[in-house]
Amino acid sequence: MAELVAINRSLSDLVKTLQDEVAGLWASNQRLLRTNSASSSQERTSRIDVQRSAKYSGSRDPRAIGNFLFQVDYYLDLQNVVEEDLRIKTAAMLLEGDVVAWWRRKMLDIENGDYMIRTFDDFRKQLKGYFMSVDAERHAYQLVANLKQTGALRDYIRAYQKVMLDVPMMPEKDKLHWFIIGLQFWAQADVERSNPETLE
């Protein structure tokens, strides 16, 4: 009989130990679930719901082409699209009108082995090469050279900044030079007296 009492006590102790372990595991599981839920909600809030870039329909305006390619590149980066093939296909889905016909022709050339577009940069160069005027940059420089202040200084500054959007690679020294040349004489004198090194 004493033996049964000892076994019963051992079983009771074992049951109590198992219950404590189960309670500990349950608490640990609850902590993991809360942690997982919190990190999952952080992932959801850190993701950005990005609207697709506007479509490109073949405008030969250098700014329209540049803006389209910039927005597509930015969209692809925000969506973490890194595979070149997928970047090209996504960009192609944003083409419309005559540009789709141009892309279909390029696709045929690629299938025939006449041409290769392997990277998004290749795609960008081909699109610009076909739709952007060869002398677009020269035309933009000509606009800069012909820009003159005829009214309020702030209007000239706005017009100059707008034209400069089309010549982003112009050296800072040249930007300043053309800005000063376009000013009225009184404004030129004021600017030259301050001896600026940049437009800022």
The answer to whether residue 165 scores a pLDDT higher than 80 is yes
The answer to whether residue 39 scores a pLDDT higher than 70 is no
The answer to whether residue 13 scores a pLDDT higher than 80 is no
Task: Residue 13: count other Cβ atoms within 10 Å of its Cβ.
Answer: 10
pLDDT, tens only, 118-139: 999 999 999 998 998 777 778 8
pLDDT at 73: 92
Cα gap 137→118, rounded to integer Å: 26
**Averaged over 148-153, what is the pLDDT?**
93
Residues paired with residue 26 on neighbouring β-strands, in sequence order: none
More confident residue, 160 or 38: 160
Cα gap 159→144, rounded to integer Å: 10
pLDDT at 134: 75
The answer to whether residue 38 scores a pLDDT higher than 60 is no
184 pLDDT band, cuts 50/70/90, is: very high
**Separation in Å, CA 52 to CA 24, 48, 84:** 49, 12, 18
The residue behind tokens 């305006």 is 61
Q: Does residue 71 contact residue 64 with C-beta atoms inside 8 Å?
A: no
Task: Residue 108: count other Cβ atoms within 10 Å of its Cβ.
Answer: 11
Please tell me the pTM assigned to this model. 0.60
Q: Does residue 59 contact residue 65 with C-beta atoms inside 8 Å?
A: yes
**Averaged over 159-172, what is the pLDDT?**
84
pLDDT at 88: 94
More confident residue, 3 or 96: 96
pLDDT at 83: 94
For 145-176, letters b (16+ CB in 10 Å) and e give: eebebeeeeeebeebbeebbebbeebeeeebb
pLDDT at 198: 77
DSSP-assigned letter for residue 7: H
More confident residue, 106 or 46: 106
The answer to whether residue 36 scores a pLDDT higher than 90 is no
